[in-house]
Amino acid sequence: MFELRPIYHSTVSARVLSRFLLRLLLGALLGLVPRAFGQALPDLGDISQATITPLQEKRLGESIMREIRSDRSYYDEPEATDYLNQFGQRLAAHSPETHQEFEFFLIRDPQINAFALPGGFIGVNTGLLLAAQSESEVAGVVAHEISHVTQRHIARMLAQQKQALVTSIASIAAAILLSRVSSEAAQAALAFGQAGAVQAQLNFTRDNEREADRVGLQLLEQSGFDPRGMATFFERLQRATRVYETAAPSYLRTHPLTYERIADIQSRLQDLPYRQITDSIEFQLIRAKVRADLDSPREAVAFFEASLAERKFLSEAASHYGLAVSSLRTNDIARAKKELATVVALVPANAVVQTLSCRVALAGGAAGDADKCYREAIRAYPRYRALVYDYAEELLQERQPDAALKLVEGRQQVLGADARLYELQARAYAALNRPLAQHRAQAEAYARQGRYTAAVEQLQIGLKSGDGDFYQLSVAEARLRELRRLDQEARKEAKR
Ligand SMILES: [Zn+2]
């Protein structure tokens, strides 16, 4: 398989970036290098400049994230994403660089990998989550990526390689995309890549890697994870590499100096006292959920049945939970109920199990039960987004837009700028036949995703709908001016 070696020491899945890169490529093939890259890339300023500012880095990261968010491999499942972010923020909170913001996200990809983008965006493949045998192992990889950001390794790499980075990524992505249609075109793209990006060395230096390991180990320890997780995970990856020589985990294939790195990490671990760290129940449940969601329903049922029969699991409760989730997907509600009852008996009350309880109640067909379940669950876990999305969705399905609106607007203050809540709000207003409010909410949903042109369009539609009183119209007009300004700024940046 092709790999995007140059973008980072660990690779980003080709498909994730392909749309973003295709735009870069088109410019390149038209001979508009380097100016045309600006169509998709924000302005990085004078490329002879020796440094890249945090703001430039953030803008570059955001423009890549816009593409990732619209790709089908972006695994935007609120429970898994919330878990990963809590987990990642817990690690990042101990970093000395307190001004850096982080956003963690999941990529639906069986390859074992994690990667950092400019601007503090850190992606974790679902394959890594499933392959890890403890929470501290995942923490080891994530802490390493966080450290690349806080130690400004990406910024330094970008500053040195701005031009080469853009050119080589574009040509490689081009080859991947074009090979599906025409091998001749793919050859041309590769030839362009060789000419355009001679020897672009974009992997981190050995010093960078060692520093990310060293700082990452400190984060692990200070955040209450087992620092040994980093070493055990790398060792497991190495063993896997020996067994499957041709299908080495992508993290390792692009990671330089693996043996030395492990030895280095182990020597740092020698001075640390041994401590037993128990995985959180959320880690176990979310892993099971990811598997139950991503495998086909039947495969998932078979997997959890076998894991329970052979008693091969990290957590028995999580296997029952996984079986409940996958049974629900096969529409076997009686079984989902039975498995859920086992989980409830095994683990303390928590939002993940509670959310499944409400889903099972809803699938059971008794709307009254589901209603009661959601109301109680949201009271107990007011910040758990999956519950709010689920319940709002259910109210909309049941044609109770007033109740859905009340729920969404009540949660907006607590959950902050959340595109999905604005989308639910827009649907509730649509059902209530209030077009101005509907398009305003949709505009906010787009604005939260950085899609300002679409946001401006929504507000224009809303303002022309003939809906709204004088006050509402002037608020919408003021917002339209602001969004136009943001849209123009984004366009200007793209042209510069
Ligand atoms: Zn690294």
How far is the centre of ligand 1, averaged over its atoms, from the C-alpha of 249 (Å)? 14
- Tell me the two tokens of residue 401: 């837009």
Q: Which residues of the chain have pLDDT under 50?
A: 1-20, 22-49, 168, 170-202, 245-248, 257
First to last CA, the chain: 36
HSE value, Cβ hemisphere, 13 Å, CA-based, for 137: 17
How far is the centre of ligand 1, averaged over its atoms, from the C-alpha of 18 (Å)? 23
Cα 80 to Cα 115, 140, 388, 452: the distances in Å are 17, 18, 15, 28
Torsions phi, psi for 291 (to 5 deg): -65, -45
Ion ligand 1 nearby residues (CB, 5 A): 9, 209, 212
How far is the centre of ligand 1, averaged over its atoms, from the C-alpha of 9 (Å)? 6
- Tell me the two tokens of residue 333: 């509600």
pLDDT of res. 240? 66
Residues 102 and 431: their CA atoms lie apart, in Å, by 36
How far is the centre of ligand 1, averaged over its atoms, from the C-alpha of 212 (Å)? 6
The torsion angle over the Cα atoms of residues 221, 222, 223 and 228, rounded to 10 degrees, is 0
How far is the centre of ligand 1, averaged over its atoms, from the C-alpha of 202 (Å)? 12
pLDDT of res. 114? 85
pLDDT of res. 271? 80
How far is the centre of ligand 1, averaged over its atoms, from the C-alpha of 120 (Å)? 14
Q: Say if strands 103-107 and 114-117 run parallel, antiparallel, or are unpaired.
A: unpaired
pLDDT of res. 234? 83
- Tell me the two tokens of residue 263: 């030895």
How far is the centre of ligand 1, averaged over its atoms, from the C-alpha of 305 (Å)? 37
Q: Say if strands 121-125 and 114-117 run parallel, antiparallel, or are unpaired.
A: antiparallel
CB 128 within 8 A of CB 68: no
Residues 133 and 145: their CA atoms lie apart, in Å, by 19
CB 41 within 8 A of CB 60: yes
Torsions phi, psi for 383 (to 5 deg): -100, 10
How far is the centre of ligand 1, averaged over its atoms, from the C-alpha of 5 (Å)? 13
How far is the centre of ligand 1, averaged over its atoms, from the C-alpha of 144 (Å)? 6
Cα 483 to Cα 268, 480, 496: the distances in Å are 51, 5, 20
Burial bucket for residue 431 (CB in 10 Å: 0-12, 13-18, 19+): middle
How far is the centre of ligand 1, averaged over its atoms, from the C-alpha of 230 (Å)? 12
Question: Residue 426's closest CA among 414, 411, 410, 437?
Answer: 437
- Tell me the two tokens of residue 413: 């203050």
How far is the centre of ligand 1, averaged over its atoms, from the C-alpha of 143 (Å)? 10
How far is the centre of ligand 1, averaged over its atoms, from the C-alpha of 205 (Å)? 9
Cα 226 to Cα 230, 273, 304, 306: the distances in Å are 8, 10, 27, 30
User: How many residues in total does the chain contain?
Assistant: 496
pLDDT of res. 161? 59
The amino acid sitting at 313 is F
How far is the centre of ligand 1, averaged over its atoms, from the C-alpha of 142 (Å)? 10
The amino acid sitting at 281 is I
* Contacts (Cβ under 8 Å, ≥6 apart) of 36: 24, 26, 27, 28, 30
pLDDT of res. 11? 39
Which 8-state DSSP code applies to residue 38? G
How far is the centre of ligand 1, averaged over its atoms, from the C-alpha of 255 (Å)? 7
How far is the centre of ligand 1, averaged over its atoms, from the C-alpha of 210 (Å)? 8
Positive or negative torsion for Cα 15, 16, 22, 27? negative
How far is the centre of ligand 1, averaged over its atoms, from the C-alpha of 136 (Å)? 17
